[in-house]
């Protein structure tokens, strides 16, 4: 499908991209809520997950635009296909960019989550929950995105 063979920066502003991002954020909302409260819905956890993802997304857009001379989300969320990545070296660099984006996401979301939830939960619990939720969302998101691309 040609629409799935574009950078995530283009895909993100199509209806399918919005659906994808909403799904990932919903997974993080549900995960954060359940791991912290043992309830699938907690208003504070949902607001926190939405806000931390928004901050992380804005940071990703700005970072990508600076590093790419204007292309949105190419670095932060390097969605490419086998047309752009070929051979071992290409996959190595894709993995490096993906790992950097994941670590930066954890740092940003971990900080935002901590600042918003520190009155209600202990720091290790907030940070561990942030890690678990992001691992789950990255695995599901990666499988969904890259199964179409390669």
Rounded Cα–Cα distance for residues 93 and 82 (Å): 13
pLDDT digits (tens, 9 = 90+) for 112-137: 999 999 999 999 999 999 999 999 99
Domain boundaries, the chain: 23-72+88-144
- For 47, 75, 80, 115, the CA distances from 98, given in Å and listed in that order, are 26, 8, 11, 26
How many whole angstroms from its chain centre is CA 120? 25
Per-residue pLDDT tens for 35-94?
999 999 999 999 999 999 999 988 877 777 776 665 555 544 555 555 556 667 767 777
Q: Give the separation between CA 49 and CA 29, rounded to whole angstroms.
A: 5
Q: What is the DSSP letter of 120?
A: T
């Amino acid at each position: 499908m040609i629409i799935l063979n574009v950078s995530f920066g283009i895909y993100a502003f199509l209806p399918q991209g919005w659906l994808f991002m909403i799904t990932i954020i919903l997974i993080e909302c549900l995960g954060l809520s359940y791991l912290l409260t043992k309830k699938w819905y907690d208003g504070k956890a949902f607001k926190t997950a939405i806000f931390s993802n928004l901050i992380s997304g804005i940071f990703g857009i700005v970072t990508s635009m600076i590093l790419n001379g204007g292309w949105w989300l190419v670095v932060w969320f390097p969605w490419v296909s086998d047309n752009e990545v070929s051979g071992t070296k290409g996959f190595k660099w894709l993995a490096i960019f993906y790992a950097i984006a994941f670590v930066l996401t954890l740092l940003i979301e971990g900080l935002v989550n901590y600042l918003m939830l520190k009155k209600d939960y202990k720091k290790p619990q907030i940070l561990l929950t942030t890690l678990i939720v992001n691992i789950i969302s990255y695995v599901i998101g990666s499988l969904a995105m890259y199964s179409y691309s390669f």
